[in-house]
Structure 1
Amino acid sequence: MKRIYIEQLIKWNQTEDIRPVMLTGAKGVGKTYLAYDFAKAFFKNILYLNFEHDPKAVDLFSDKDPGKLSKRLSEHFYLTALDSDDNFNEDRLLILDEISYCPAALHILSSLQQEGAFPRIIAISSSPLKKEELKPYYHIPIYPMQFSEFLTAIGSEWYIETIIAHYNSNKKIPDIVHKELLNLHNLYLQIGGMPSIINEYLNFNNISNIPEQHSHLMGTYRHYLSLLSSDSESLKMNQVLDCLPLQLLKSNKKFQYNLIRKGTTHAMYKEAIQSLSNQNYIIPCYKMTTKDLSNIDKILEEDRLNVNEITSFKLYLSDAGLLHSLLLKEIKTTFNKVARKALLENYIATTLKVNGYPIFFWESESTAKIDFLLSNKGEIIPLEIFCDTNTRSKSISVLKQKIDFPYSIKISERNFEYSNNVKYVPYYAAFCI
């Protein structure tokens, strides 16, 4: 399964940036697979330690002296000292999995790399790391596979260039191809972007057991939360996860604490929500006030947005496929329009997150709502999502009275088009945004 992140690893390997790489992301997004896939293509000697499952690996890093540590690791892997005749050490990659289980390793890798025996190091963490902990690293956050990666995985990679070309030109794709891509996208929404579950589909060419696989993955998440958090915090995080389908099945998808239980407040759950966000299990989408719209880039640049104090927000799961299976348990029949809108919003939220956009929405004091706001080079681009080809909406004109923007984006079943300062984008092309 070719991942888009492989290009970043190749760039790192070809430059003089000798910082260790840090791959972060939720369990199941394919961090270890990505590291090995890259390693097999560019290195002859792959050395691997897993701190979560191997206590001896933690013991190896008990020495804080990088020179002594380098020697201990060389002995552990039965390596001779710096082999230079055949540049053995230059063709060597050290992969350290779940490094958060060994804090000593987290803080010594840069010094270890400078010793020379391990000139290239990739560390992996499913646990959230602080900004200061990431400073010594070439950080690559990993997310579930986008639709474009899904197309590659199922052998339909040739569609990608076609989609990108038509997205850039705003010219319609032939109807037969358009319908094929809508069907493939609908399949993606059911399977999601978790590599192991996509692989399950490829092995059996059937989606009947996909909900069971999603349920198993959610169980893994819950178990992991119980290991990393206190009982009370773990309970709160699981309660947030449990109520997400009901939150998104409302016509107004803003998070309501009374769906957890009566009497709950923002103060009681804000840390649990932040922790789930830090671990990439959920994606918060915060309401942006009208007065902040004209200054959004400066607010983000100066990090003046205190998300812990924002009480109006929506929450999405990190993978649309997971939400699809959870919604099936609630709906048990063909999705209605509200459920489909929830699924499509979740899909767009995950896609925008992968593409590096801050996730915000806007609504007026009346009924006007914009699903997402994109901040692009000082300009606001409003983005709306529709469940079919009907894209009529008054919300854009309401927003236009508040702030100027060059154009808006409407995502729907409609083919590509650009008219009246509206860029029409079919669901399957959202990765191009």
Structure 2
Amino acid sequence: MLRRKATDQLKYWVEHKDKKCLVVQGARQTGKTYIIERFAEDNYEEVVEINFKEMPSAKTIFEGDLTVDNMVMALRFRFPEIKIIPGKTLIFLDEIQECEEAITALKFWAVDNRYDVIVSGSLLGIDYKRASSYPVGYVDYQRMYGLDFEEFLWGIGITEEMIDSLKACFDKKQPVPTAINDQMFSYYRQYIATGGMPEVVQKYLDTKDYREVDTIQRSLLQGYLYDIAHYANAEEKVKAEKCYLTLGKQLLDKENHKFQYKEIEKGARAQKYYNSIDWLLRADMVHLSRIVTDIRYDLDDYARNDFFRAYTTDLSLLVAMKDFSLKQHIVENTLEGNTKGGIYECAVADALHKKGYTLYFYKNETTKKELDVIIQKDGQVIPIEVKGGKANANSIKSVLKKYDDITCAYKFIDGNVGVSDNGLVTLPLYMAAFV
């Protein structure tokens, strides 16, 4: 069983919830159902689980009066073998987007507060069905992603003590011993080639065979395309698929990683495709990094919605858009040119996104200054550059010189930890997981 940080977040919710249900959101196949099921087995005497895709007839439980007593009675008739005991029972409603009245009912479960209720779904942001009354104020939210690099290290058997020693190097800005740093880069390249989707990681752990890994990755990619075909409206189906499948080219084949509609088809414009990008965003199939016109807090005030980079929500899906040889080059560290810079930029963006950061970037066509990623942490703006090798970070140095209020900046490289006098911290690429 893969150890996931989401388990600790579920425990925190149980201990701190205040008359609220929990909605676990996230892209498909990130492990939501598995983690909730394992958590339920370990923490509750009784579990009632309904997957509305597997059991569509269970929607009748939520017809008529949505009082908790009525719903519990219906559940007891449906599942006579389960003792539904107040305070000791978890109600788990999976794929809840398939039952709009079950969404409405969350308010009443929360107010009653005799039973813990956790719900999950893969496309909860898609408004193809609207609950008659969405339970605003009666639910907490938890977002699940694929495995991050730290979770991958747990999976391959790296101890907590070893990871803590790496975090200490990050915190103290001290170099990592060379042999350890080299080994961590080897693990990191394995992680990038594998990605963070649990099924893919488990296949890698079981077989160490990248052909097997590739098969699972491509199957997941096809599943995502199926979701577009199944859930997008008729007008968006083809356009959303074209936008999604162009990400491999947008991010790995070009020096400029700004999303360009002309890469979808000749003469394409935002007017035709922007709604498709928005659909992919709401479906948790992409996340965006928006350009900012200035590098000041609050970055959102300077962000443009029409100029962005679009990333897949997991590296598994990105590498599946290219041929198998990409994995070999990643693992053997033989990448060159735009592909090398692109894959490491995507890996750093993936790490920061999974830690919950909103991503921005900066590009000035006049001065040719560019910052790959910018984040905000504790009210401070942190500029970031990503280098596949050990190149200079001229753009970030000029920013530190110009902006007195920016006191920290990161340059991620294929190298070790270092600190300059102007506040620029050089870090190994894999340490994006610790920011």
- Per the TM superposition, whether the score is higher than 0.5 is yes
Asked if 1:356 is matched to 2:356, the reply is yes
Alpha-carbon spacing, 1:364–1:45, altered in 2? closer, same or farther (3 Å): same
- Alignment correspondent of 1:125: 121
CA-CA distance at 1:401 after TM superposition: 5.4
Partner of 1:278: 282
**CA distance in 2: counterparts of 1:376 and 1:240, whole angstroms:** 31
> Do the aligned partners of 1:188 and 1:321 also contact (CA within 8 Å) in 2?
no
One-letter identity of the residue aligned with 2:119: A
Counterpart for residue 413 of structure 1: 414
Deviations 1:353-400 (A, max 9, x none): 122211100012232110011112332111010112x13121113334
**Aligned 8 A contact 2:248 2:318 in 1:** yes
Query: Is 2:424 aligned against 1:432?
Result: no
Q: Secondary structure, in 3 states, of the residue corresponding to 2:419?
A: strand
Indicate whether 1:327 and 2:322 are aligned: yes
- Tell me the SS of whatever aligns to 1:21: strand
The corresponding residue for 2:148 is 146
Report the equivalent of 1:313.
308
Query: 3-state DSSP class of the match of 2:240?
Result: helix
* Structure 1 match to 2:131: none
TM-aligned CA distance change 1:181 to 1:81, over 3 Å: closer
What is aligned with 1:296? 298
- Counterpart Cα distance in 1 of 2:34 and 2:227: 20
Is the Cα–Cα contact under 8 Å of residues 240 and 260 in structure 1 kept in the other structure? yes
- SS at 1:107 equivalent: helix
Counterparts in 2 of 1:77 and 1:139: CA distance versus 1, 3 Å: same
Letter aligned with residue 211 of structure 1: D
Instruction: Call closer, same or farther: CA 1:331–1:189 in 2, change over 3 Å.
Output: closer
In the other structure, the counterpart of 2:247 is 244
Q: Matched residue of 2:152: which SS?
A: helix
- Look up the match of 2:347: 347
State the Cα distance separating 1:297 from its structure 2 match. 5.3
- Identity score, percent: 23
SS in 2 for 1:144: coil
* Mapping of residues 28-67 of structure 1, within 5 Å: 28-66=29-67, 67=69
Cα distance, 1:332 vs structure 2: 9.3
Q: What is the Cα deviation at residue 179 of structure 1?
A: 0.8
Tell me the SS of whatever aligns to 1:327: coil
1: distance between equivalents of 2:279 and 2:21?
A: 25
> Residue type of the partner of 1:278?
R
TM-superposed deviation, 1:147: 0.3
Q: Which amino acid counterpart does residue 341 of structure 1 have in structure 2?
A: G
Aligned pair count reads 417
Write the distance in 1 (CA, Å) between the matches of 2:300 and 2:348: 24
> How far is 1:246 from its partner?
1.2
In 2, Cα distance between the equivalents of 1:80 and 1:254?
53
In 2: Cα distance, 1:204 partner to 1:78 partner: 41
1:422 Cα shift?
1.3
Gap runs ≥5 in structure 1:
83-87
TM-superposed CA distance for 1:263, in Å, is 2.3
SS in structure 2 opposite 1:411? Answer: strand
Structure 1: distance between partners of 2:82 and 2:292: 58
Which whole-Å CA distance do the structure 2 matches of 1:337 and 1:64 have between them? Answer: 62
Distance 1:26 1:50 in 2: 17
Q: Which secondary structure state, in structure 1, belongs to the residue aligned with residue 353 of structure 2?
A: helix
Contact 1:192–1:319 under 8 Å retained in 2: yes
Distance 1:381 1:58 in 2: 48
| Structure-1-length-normalised TM-score | 0.90
Secondary structure at the residue paired with 1:294?
coil
CA RMSD of aligned residues (A): 2.2
Matched residue SS, 2:298 = helix
Quick one: which of 59, 73, 94 aligns to 1:71?
73
